[in-house]
Amino acid sequence: MSDKTAKDIENEVSDWWKTSIIDMEPGKIHYGGYAIQDLIGNISFPGMIWLMTRGELPSKGQAALLEAALVAAVDHGPQAPSIAIARMAATCGVGLNNAMASAVNVLGDVHGGAGEQAVALYHDIVARMDGGQNLVDATAAGLDHQIAEHGKHIPGFGHRFHPLDPRAPRLLSLVEKAAADGIVSGRFGQIASQIEETLLTRKGKRIPMNIDGATAVIYAELGFAAPLARGLFCLSRSVGILAHAWEQTNQGGRNKGPIPRRLIWNYDGPERRPVPSDLNGD
Ligand SMILES: CC(C)(COP(=O)(O)OP(=O)(O)OC[C@H]1O[C@@H](n2cnc3c(N)ncnc32)[C@H](O)[C@@H]1OP(=O)(O)O)[C@@H](O)C(=O)NCCC(=O)NCCSC(=O)C[C@@](O)(CC(=O)O)C(=O)O
């Protein structure tokens, strides 16, 4: 027989889930201590994302910068695997939530994950600067380390489609303005620009910052941990994913594959051959 008292059991039950995010009782909902009815109509959606992931409310300037990053990464058309998958899923007879989940599930290290890697790289360079190295040397050492550990492609730089990703310079200009207004330090923007310079010197050609490199600057400036950069990209891209899944649903189409049906893939397996007649023999 258990020696547990009713109080022990009550404590065990109430400790089962612990969260500092939400507090509730009948008729009352508080996020991080703030009543939901006071938040509704008073804070923006980015402000809410900040409160939920950071536990505090952002300043107006911080929320505006976060919003800019979220707006910038919303969509990149059906060339992006996540968007194509959302559209294909929408033709399979599934609901919008299934189409969205299928699409979000392919956001990983290679597609959508460069922002997380870029934040980690920027943090590594900051740590070197805090250790006494100047910007140029810390960047060079950070890049050497990145290449040794993860290969020659520096996350957040280069693009397969855009010679200059139009999203990056605009975001960087907002970071510069926020730094001038004292909202952020501007340190991560300087690091990302120095990475571009170092790559130019090393490769003899410009490998410009892309959307992930630029949003990573914002997430790092705003103090988001590297893994949250991936989560925030997922939130942002989910808007594009939803829009494409909904558009495709309305366009119709059944079982739409990744290429038109008249096209076929390249087969490079064995020649056509008969199944051996003695398969079950010794
Ligand atoms: C993106 C791409 C594969 C493009 O490559 P490319 O095809 O142009 O060139 P490659 O043939 O790989 O390289 C040719 C020569 O340039 C050198 N080179 C190129 N990039 C270099 C680099 N970063 N660091 C050093 N060197 C570089 C390379 O070393 C080589 O030099 P060499 O060996 O001397 O001949 C490449 O940059 C890359 O991996 N970037 C890092 C990962 C990254 O940030 N991913 C996010 C991209 S944004 C995104 O995903 C969001 C999206 O936009 C998606 C969408 O597009 O839908 C959306 O919104 O959804």
Q: What is the pLDDT of residues 162-202, one digit of tens each?
A: 999 999 999 999 999 999 999 999 999 999 999 999 999 99
Q: Is 127 in a helix, a strand, or coil?
A: helix
- Say if residue 55's pLDDT is above 70: yes
Report the C-alpha dihedral over residues 254, 256, 262, 268, rounded to 10 degrees: -130
Please state the pTM of the whole predicted model. 0.93
Work out whether strand 34-35 and strand 22-25 pair parallel, antiparallel, or are unpaired.
Answer: unpaired
User: In the block, which residue shows the tokens 């059906």?
Assistant: 78
Strand partners, 79: none
Per-residue pLDDT, 24: 96
Residue nearest to atom 42 of ligand 1 (CA): 155
Residues whose CB falls within 8 Å of the CB of residue 242, separated by 6 or more in sequence, listed in order: 86, 96, 100
Mean pLDDT for the chain?
A: 95
Q: pLDDT-derived band of residue 2, with 50, 70 and 90 as boundaries?
A: low
Q: What is the rounded distance in angstroms from the CA atom of residue 233 to the CA atom of residue 235?
A: 5
Q: What region, left, alpha or beta, does residue 247 occupy, with left being phi > 0 and alpha being psi -120 to 50 degrees? A: alpha
Q: Which two tokens stand for residue 273?
A: 């051959």
Residue 193 backbone dihedrals phi, psi, to 5 degrees: -65, -35
Q: E strand or H helix at 29, and its extent?
A: strand 28-31
CB of residue 89 inside a 6 A radius of ligand 1:
no
Mutate to test the pocket of ligand 1, among 122, 144, 157 (most ligand atoms within 8 A of CB): 157
Band of residue 129 on the pLDDT scale cut at 50, 70, 90: very high
Structure tokens at 180: 């001038």
pLDDT recorded at residue 282: 60
Instruction: Supply the residue whose CA is at minimum distance from atom 55 of ligand 1.
Output: 80
Query: Is the shortest distance between the CB of 199 and ligand 1 below 6 Å?
Result: yes
Classify residue 157 by its DSSP letter. B
CA distance 23 to 35: 9
Q: What is the mean pLDDT of residues 200-218?
A: 97
Verify whether ligand 1 is closer than 6 Å to residue 113 (CB atom).
no
* Coil vs helix vs strand at 26: coil
248 CA to centre of ligand 1 in angstroms: 29
**Residue 22's pLDDT band (cuts 50, 70, 90):** very high
Q: How confident is the model at residue 272 (pLDDT cuts 50, 70, 90)?
A: very high
Which residue, 136, 237, 220, is CA-closest to 178? 220
Q: Dihedral of the CA atoms 34, 66, 173, 76 (nearest 10)?
A: -160
- Is the C-beta atom of 67 inside 6 A of ligand 1? no
Q: Is the CB of 108 under 6 A from ligand 1?
A: no
**Nearest in space to 82 (alpha carbons), one of 104, 98, 57:** 104
Residue located via tokens 């550990």: 149
What does the block give as tokens for 221? 């400036």
Nearest CA residue ID for atom 35, ligand 1: 203
Ligand 1 pocket, mutate which of 145, 147, 160, 165 (most atoms under 8 A from CB) = 160
ipTM above 0.90, yes or no: yes
Going by CA atoms, what residue is nearest to atom 20 of ligand 1? 158
